[in-house]
């Protein structure tokens, strides 16, 4: 099995320093299952290609009591978990992010190409795109025909692929180290707690925000529930810390949304509107996703139609404030039974979100990176699947009417995006049709002839079918 890594930034041979392998030499290492060799197929100032060749000894794999594999198989040729183990051995220093001779190079983002000769993928090349494109790679994959001379025999399950990106060697190796075993659904090594540590260590800085995070964790840990839970819980803890840090940084900032909205009490208009829509829809159980300090929860509590009210937020601090301002501790028993607060992230599928009539996402989506919205969509519309979902988000066009806001600025420092009316409509309609909902849009707040309303709302209703 063979993998090639190419750098084309001059002097391209810096790759040798980063990989700790001198381009002039052949480097060979003995492994439990064979041998690994690193050599360079080109080493010019313009282009430098390091090749890692792993020779698997098929006899070694079945010898004695070790019976790792069936005797005849494709393992010697196909890039798999064996390749990852070899990478860990020969590129260990680079994977750890070290480069003693040239520490200045470690953070250099270089134009890199990675070519993986043969990989077996029953699912085809689309999975490569799902895994590598969110990390900034251009992915090219080609199926290998069963037999070059007899194309009529059709395609095999084998592919070769190429990845191109401007990234650091350390990041690139970390991505491969985690994702090659994800692609190989038949990992040869034992999966235990040590693998959770490896996954978190090598996934640091990118796995938490990857839209396919759950799939990656599942496959890396061979779907072992206890280990998968442990890894997802650690990622969730990182998530919580990151959201809290971003929120508190934004609070310190000068043009926080709250100040912009105070004169118009837009927040009050919005929350009253959402509560009255839920009432009109006949909802009895509501989950407020990203409930913050619980202002919608308070309105819902005041209306006895709502029998079960749940607030969820990723921020522990926000939930503490909600519990305090709702005065949960001193609430009479019959009221206390109607409300529940829980910590959780909208980027994780969560069984506790099942079974509600309705869900609210009030001023939440714009706090998530655009690339992660796809995960939230599945968590809410595919898995939790309430009968109704109400989403509100700012209308960017209206920002022109905030005199304090510099042109092009967003309303809140933690907003990752703000949509105009057309963009929100497009998102709402696409999402509705993808998950079998219908969507209707409404302005929230005073409507300006040119710019529309400051905030916008979409009400999603599940078409026919049963709720989750």
Asked if 415 is part of the footprint of ligand SAH (rule: CB under 6 A), the reply reads: no
Q: Which of the ranges 152-160, 167-175, 332-340, 362-370 carries the binding residues for ligand SAH, by CB under 6 A? A: 362-370
How many residues in the shown chain lie near ligand SAH by CB under 6 A? 18
Is residue 20 within 8 A of residue 46, CB to CB? The reply is no
Q: How far is the CB of 37 from ligand SAH (least distance, A)?
A: 45
For the CA atoms of 219, 222, 228, 234, the dihedral, rounded to the nearest 10 degrees, stands at -70
Q: How far is the CB of 445 from ligand SAH (least distance, A)?
A: 13
**Max CA separation in the chain (angstroms):** 81
Asked if 367 is part of the footprint of ligand SAH (rule: CB under 6 A), the reply reads: yes
Choosing from 181, 211, 290, 394, the residue that interacts with ligand SAH (CB under 6 A) is 290
Q: How far is the CB of 444 from ligand SAH (least distance, A)?
A: 11
Instruction: Give the integer Cα–Cα distance in Å for 342 and 167.
Output: 38
> What length is written for the chain?
468
Q: How far is the CB of 227 from ligand SAH (least distance, A)?
A: 23
Choosing from 69, 363, 397, 418, the residue that interacts with ligand SAH (CB under 6 A) is 363
Three-state secondary-structure class, residue 378: helix
- State CA 204 to chain mean position distance: 12
In the structure encoding, which two tokens stand for residue 37, read together? 């060799």
In the structure encoding, which two tokens stand for residue 124, read together? 């085809």
Asked if 345 is part of the footprint of ligand SAH (rule: CB under 6 A), the reply reads: yes
Choosing from 346, 444, 458, 462, the residue that interacts with ligand SAH (CB under 6 A) is 346
Strands 437-444 and 339-343 turn out to be: unpaired
Q: For residue 404, is it left (φ>0), alpha (ψ between -120 and 50) or beta?
A: alpha
Cβ nearer to ligand SAH, comparing 203 with 290: 290
Q: For residue 222, is it left (φ>0), alpha (ψ between -120 and 50) or beta?
A: left
Q: Which of the ranges 21-29, 66-74, 291-299, 438-446 carries the binding residues for ligand SAH, by CB under 6 A? A: 291-299
Q: Which of the ranges 102-110, 361-369, 396-404, 420-428 carries the binding residues for ligand SAH, by CB under 6 A? A: 361-369
Contacts of 234 (CB under 8 A, 6+ apart): 196, 200
Cβ nearer to ligand SAH, comparing 81 with 315: 315
* DSSP per-residue codes, 262-303: GGGTHHHHHHHHHHHHHHHHT-SEEEEET-TTTHHHHHHHT-
| Binding letters toward ligand SAH, positions 293-332, x by CB under 6 A | --x-----------------xxx--x--------------
CA angle (93 as vertex; 216, 102 as ends), nearest 5? 120
Q: Which of the ranges 139-147, 290-298, 325-333, 446-454 carries the binding residues for ligand SAH, by CB under 6 A? A: 290-298
Q: How far is the CB of 243 from ligand SAH (least distance, A)?
A: 5
Q: How far is the CB of 120 from ligand SAH (least distance, A)?
A: 35
Strands 34-43 and 155-167 turn out to be: unpaired
Cβ nearer to ligand SAH, comparing 230 with 315: 315
Q: How far is the CB of 282 from ligand SAH (least distance, A)?
A: 22
Q: How far is the CB of 378 from ligand SAH (least distance, A)?
A: 13
Would you give the DSSP letter of residue 402?
Answer: -
Asked if 213 is part of the footprint of ligand SAH (rule: CB under 6 A), the reply reads: no
Cβ nearer to ligand SAH, comparing 19 with 362: 362
Instruction: Give the integer Cα–Cα distance in Å for 183 and 119.
Output: 8
**Buried b vs exposed e over 67-77: b needs ≥16 C-beta within 10 Å?**
eebeeeeebbe
In the structure encoding, which two tokens stand for residue 298, read together? 């308070």
Q: How far is the CB of 388 from ligand SAH (least distance, A)?
A: 16
- State CA 399 to chain mean position distance: 29
Choosing from 260, 362, 390, 432, the residue that interacts with ligand SAH (CB under 6 A) is 362
Instruction: Give the integer Cα–Cα distance in Å for 333 and 125.
Output: 56
Q: Which of the ranges 173-181, 221-229, 356-364, 401-409 carries the binding residues for ligand SAH, by CB under 6 A? A: 356-364
Q: How far is the CB of 346 from ligand SAH (least distance, A)?
A: 4
Q: How far is the CB of 310 from ligand SAH (least distance, A)?
A: 13
Is residue 229 within 8 A of residue 217, CB to CB? The reply is no
Residue nearest to ligand SAH (CB): 292
Residues near ligand SAH, by CB under 6 A = 243, 247, 290-292, 295, 313-315, 318, 345-347, 362-364, 367-368
């Amino acid at each position: 099995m063979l993998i090639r890594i190419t750098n084309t930034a001059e002097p391209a041979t810096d790759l040798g320093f980063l990989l700790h392998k001198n381009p002039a030499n052949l480097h060979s290492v003995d492994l439990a299952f064979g041998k690994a060799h690193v050599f360079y197929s080109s080493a010019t100032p313009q282009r430098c290609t390091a090749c890692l060749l792993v020779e698997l000894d098929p006899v070694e794999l079945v010898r004695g009591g070790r019976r790792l594999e069936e005797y005849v198989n494709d393992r010697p040729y196909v890039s798999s978990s064996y390749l990852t183990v070899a990478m860990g051995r020969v590129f260990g220093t680079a994977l750890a992010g070290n480069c003693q001779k040239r520490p200045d190079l470690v953070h250099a983002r270089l134009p890199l190409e990675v070519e993986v000769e043969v990989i077996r993928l029953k699912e085809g090349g689309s999975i490569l795109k799902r895994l590598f494109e969110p990390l900034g790679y251009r992915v090219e994959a080609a199926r290998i025909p069963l037999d070059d001379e007899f194309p009529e025999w059709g395609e095999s399950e084998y592919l070769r692929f190429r990845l191109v990106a401007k990234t650091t060697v350390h990041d690139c190796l970390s991505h491969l180290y985690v994702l090659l075993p994800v692609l190989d659904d038949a990992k040869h090594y034992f999966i235990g707690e040590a693998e959770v540590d490896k996954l978190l260590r090598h996934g640091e800085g990118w796995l938490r925000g990857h839209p396919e995070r759950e799939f990656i964790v599942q496959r890396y840990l061979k779907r072992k529930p206890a280990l998968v839970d442990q890894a997802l819980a650690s990622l969730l803890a990182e998530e919580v810390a990151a959201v809290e840090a971003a929120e508190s940084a934004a609070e310190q900032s000068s043009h926080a949304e709250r100040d912009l909205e105070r004169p118009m009490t837009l927040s009050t208009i919005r929350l009253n509107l959402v509560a009255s829509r839920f009432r009109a829809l006949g909802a009895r159980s509501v989950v407020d996703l990203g409930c913050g300090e619980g202002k919608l929860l308070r309105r819902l509590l005041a209306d006895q139609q709502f029998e079960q009210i749940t607030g969820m937020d990723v921020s522990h601090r926000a939930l503490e404030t909600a519990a305090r301002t709702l005065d949960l501790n001193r609430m009479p028993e019959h009221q206390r039974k109607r409300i529940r607060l829980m910590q959780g992230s909208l980027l994780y599928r969560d069984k506790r979100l099942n079974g509600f009539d309705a869900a609210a996402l009030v001023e939440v989506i714009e706090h998530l990176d655009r690339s992660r919205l796809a995960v939230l969509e599945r968590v809410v519309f595919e898995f939790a699947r309430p009968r109704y979902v109400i989403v509100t988000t700012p209308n960017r066009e209206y920002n022109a009417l905030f005199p304090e806001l510099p042109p092009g600025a967003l309303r809140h420092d933690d907003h990752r995006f703000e949509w105009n009316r057309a963009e929100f409509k497009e998102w709402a309609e696409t999402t509705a049709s993808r998950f079998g909902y219908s969507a209707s849009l409404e302005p929230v707040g005073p409507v300006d002839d040119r710019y529309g309303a400051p905030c916008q709302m979409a009400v999603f209703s599940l078409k026919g079918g049963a709720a989750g």
